[in-house]
């Protein structure tokens, strides 16, 4: 079967989007591709940014390929599924440009994972995949297109109603083969995600060594995907990294929700000519492992501290056993061997602004960056959403968006313009 996999050309004008706006490898599509090709299918994978194509040009390339199935993602990469842009206008615009020339159209991503019926309606596509998508897409190609009711984790229209074949998929993941990326994409991947110690000295890339997280912080949007913690077999991860190094990559960012201390991986990285960045929880790292992390080539740590009081962290269900002082000491220890260390703070009701300012100053004096606490967006896949409003329904994204816009009168330092209401951003989408 001929299958097109598409990461559309993203624009985020007036979006609340919290993710990085540079181009990253669309890991979910790369994972689909490796499984599809192993099963003998012919795959066209296109990325608007990395191929330098606008939405119309993307649609023309896909149409010329004459696929039986076109898969489009609703978030720029797996890395940002937990903080995706709420609006679906970009994948919708791609699907409109493609029209009926892409075979069966399939949407994958965080939106359809939690609100499949709404996503189907807003996008006007044929199928929506719930949850981690690569094995479901492979099942569709393996005969599932002819009988979608037999494929789990799908939503589709049938006789005037929408059928949902089950909850979100979680992939096996541990045996996901090494992903392979086109040379042209790597050559154009100039961005080193979350790296601030120096300018890029070669191409960057993203890699996934583990998926999911054993914690369940209240603000974290991972109930419907990338939830259970799984570690990928080390030889597969190293094969992927070695392929990237051979393509000239000098920096990789591990997209793992939580990069846990893993001695064999770190020891394998010590001998490789590549720097890397991670997101993790600093309370899980002992000093000797932090030293190994630095020796292995880590140049960027983003650590979620969230609140500076034990009560605040408990309110967020951080399940953190370390004291605020311990956290500061470990961050400062990490900074001895890792050139950029960031403590992430979240705006929590009741946090003392003077305490926050003093703590930030203390850490900054030791070379550790701590951000101005950012407000929370109650993503429909987060426990926070469900605490506020129960199970997500057809208005879940609109409700979360309106709540966010109303709750704060000033916005994150990374947002340059006033965000617009969701209905305005999605005015071109079908009514939900
Ligand atoms: S530690 Fe908390 S915020 Fe981080 S990935 Fe896990 S659940 Fe999400």
Q: What is the mean pLDDT of the chain?
A: 94
Nearest to 217 by CA among 391, 390, 389, 385: 385
**CA dihedral of 272, 255, 239, 107, whole degrees rounded to 10:** -160
The pLDDT > 70 percentage for the chain reads 97
Q: How far apart (Å, rounded) are the C-alpha atoms in residues 133 and 31?
A: 9
Residue 146's pLDDT band, with cuts at 50, 70 and 90, is very high
Q: How far apart (Å, rounded) are the C-alpha atoms in residues 232 and 238?
A: 10
| Each residue's pLDDT tens digit, 264-314 | 999 999 999 999 999 999 999 999 999 999 999 999 999 988 888 888 888
Q: Verify whether ligand 1 is closer than 6 Å to residue 344 (CB atom).
A: no
Instruction: Give the lowest-confidence range in 201-210, 259-268, 419-428.
Output: 419-428
Q: Verify whether ligand 1 is closer than 6 Å to residue 282 (CB atom).
A: no
Q: How far apart (Å, rounded) are the C-alpha atoms in residues 187 and 90?
A: 25
What pLDDT score does 309 carry?
85
| Each residue's pLDDT tens digit, 78-96 | 999 999 999 999 999 999 9
| Each residue's pLDDT tens digit, 332-387 | 999 999 999 999 998 887 788 898 899 999 999 999 999 888 788 999 999 999 99
* Mean pLDDT, residues 52-58: 98
Q: Verify whether ligand 1 is closer than 6 Å to residue 281 (CB atom).
A: yes
What pLDDT score does 432 carry?
45
User: In angstroms, what is the span from residue 2 Cα to ligand 1's centroid?
Assistant: 37
User: In angstroms, what is the span from residue 216 Cα to ligand 1's centroid?
Assistant: 6
Q: What is the pTM of this model?
A: 0.95
What pLDDT score does 430 carry?
62
Q: Verify whether ligand 1 is closer than 6 Å to residue 313 (CB atom).
A: no
The pLDDT > 90 percentage for the chain reads 85
* pLDDT of 416 over the 70 cut: no
| Each residue's pLDDT tens digit, 228-262 | 999 999 999 999 999 999 999 999 999 999 999 99
Q: Which atom of ligand 1 is nearest to the CA of 258?
A: 5
At residue 78's C-alpha, the angle toward residues 72 and 81, to 5°, is 90
């Amino acid at each position: 079967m001929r299958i097109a996999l598409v990461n559309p050309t993203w624009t985020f004008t007036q979006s609340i989007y919290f993710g990085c706006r540079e181009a990253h490898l669309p890991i979910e599509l790369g994972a689909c591709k490796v499984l599809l090709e192993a099963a003998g299918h012919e795959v066209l994978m296109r990325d608007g940014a990395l191929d330098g194509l606008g939405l119309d040009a993307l649609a023309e390339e896909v149409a010329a390929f004459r696929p039986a199935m076109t898969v489009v993602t609703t978030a720029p990469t797996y890395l940002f599924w937990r903080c995706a842009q709420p609006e679906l206008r970009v994948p919708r615009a791609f699907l409109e440009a493609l029209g009926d020339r892409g075979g069966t159209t399939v949407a994958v991503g965080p939106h359809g994972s939690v609100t499949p019926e709404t996503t189907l309606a807003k996008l006007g596509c044929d199928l929506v995949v719930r949850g981690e998508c690569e094995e479901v897409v492979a099942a569709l190609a393996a005969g599932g297109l002819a009988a979608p009711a037999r494929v789990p984790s799908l939503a589709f229209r049938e006789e005037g109603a929408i059928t949902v074949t089950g909850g979100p998929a979680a992939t096996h993941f541990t045996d996901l083969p090494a992903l392979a990326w086109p040379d042209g994409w790597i050559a154009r991947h100039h961005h080193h995600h979350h790296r601030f110690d120096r300018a890029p000295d070669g191409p960057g890339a993203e890699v996934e060594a583990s998926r999911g997280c054993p914690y369940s912080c209240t603000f974290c949007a991972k109930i419907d995907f990338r939830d259970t913690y799984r570690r990928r077999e080390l030889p597969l991860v190293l094969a992927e990294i070695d392929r990237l190094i051979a393509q000239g990559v000098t920096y990789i960012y591990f997209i793992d929700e939580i990069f846990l201390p893993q001695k064999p991986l770190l020891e394998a990285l010590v001998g490789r000519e590549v720097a890397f960045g991670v997101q993790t929880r600093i309370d899980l790292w002992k000093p000797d492992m932090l030293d190994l992390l630095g020796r292995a080539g880590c140049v960027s740590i983003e650590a979620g501290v969230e609140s500076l009081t034990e009560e605040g962290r408990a309110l967020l269900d951080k399940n953190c056993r370390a004291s605020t002082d311990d956290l500061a000491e470990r961050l400062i220890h990490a900074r001895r061997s890792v050139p950029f260390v960031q403590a992430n703070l979240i705006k929590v009701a009741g946090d003392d602004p003077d305490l926050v300012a003093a703590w930030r100053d203390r850490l900054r004096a030791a070379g550790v960056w701590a951000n101005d606490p950012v407000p929370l967006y109650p993503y429909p896949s987060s426990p926070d959403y469900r605490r506020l409003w129960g199970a997500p329904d057809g208005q879940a994204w609109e409700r979360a968006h309106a709540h966010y816009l109303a709750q704060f009168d000033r916005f994150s330092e990374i947002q340059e313009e006033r965000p617009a209401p969701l209905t305005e951003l999605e005015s071109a989408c079908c009514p939900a």
